[in-house]
Amino acid sequence: MTDITIYHNPSCGTSRNTLALIRNSGVEPAIILYLENPPSRDELITMIAGMGICVRALVRKNVEPYEKLGLSDDKFSDDALLDAMLAYPILINRPIVVTPKGTRLCRPSEIVLDILPDAQKGAFTKEDGEKVIDETGQLIIKGAAYE
């Protein structure tokens, strides 16, 4: 049994890159297709607390239900935002990765490197051609994006 879980959307490039980085560390994670099997309210609350973020920070803004539900309005409580994410799982930003070293919303995908127990096993290039890990398994730093 693996001790790494990814809440994954295979249609999302960031999610696919994050999964590939986990696999590049030599681990096959538990993959939860959260659109088909959304987390429970308690699981969502636990993940948000583990990430140290507010509920609103996990709400995905660039999807249809966000505008339709008027979620940009400050009047929504954390409970109301949780209700919306549970009713419309597409509103849960992703990918979320849970490891023994922590829980993170992995946007950009390289954030997963902070919580992986094992080092990268080799070079890694994102789907868009951006090189992230060199042949020695070290992170390639590119400007302020990774500082």
Residue at 92 is within a domain: yes
**What is the pTM assigned to this prediction?**
0.92
> Is residue 146 assigned to a domain?
no
Establish if 144 belongs to a structural domain.
Answer: no
Q: Which amino acid is at 93?
A: N
CATH classification at residue 108: 3.40.30.10
Classify residue 101: in a domain, yes or no: yes
Residue 130 backbone phi and psi in degrees, to 5: -70, 125
Total tally of structural domains belonging to the chain: 1
Evaluate whether residue 107 is within a structural domain.
yes
Domain annotation covers residue 136: no
Whole-number pLDDT of residue 141: 79
Q: Is 12 a catalytic residue?
A: yes
- Catalytic-role residue among 6, 7, 12, 71: 12
Tell whether 128 is covered by a domain: no
Q: Detail the DSSP E strand segments found in the chain.
A: 5-8, 30-33, 96-99, 102-105, 124-125, 131-133
Please report whether residue 138 resides in a domain. no
The tens-digit pLDDT sequence of the chain (147 residues) is 569 999 999 999 999 999 999 999 999 999 999 999 999 999 999 999 999 999 999 999 999 999 999 999 889 999 999 999 999 999 999 999 999 999 999 999 999 999 999 999 999 999 999 999 999 888 897 753 443
Range of the domain at 76: 5-120
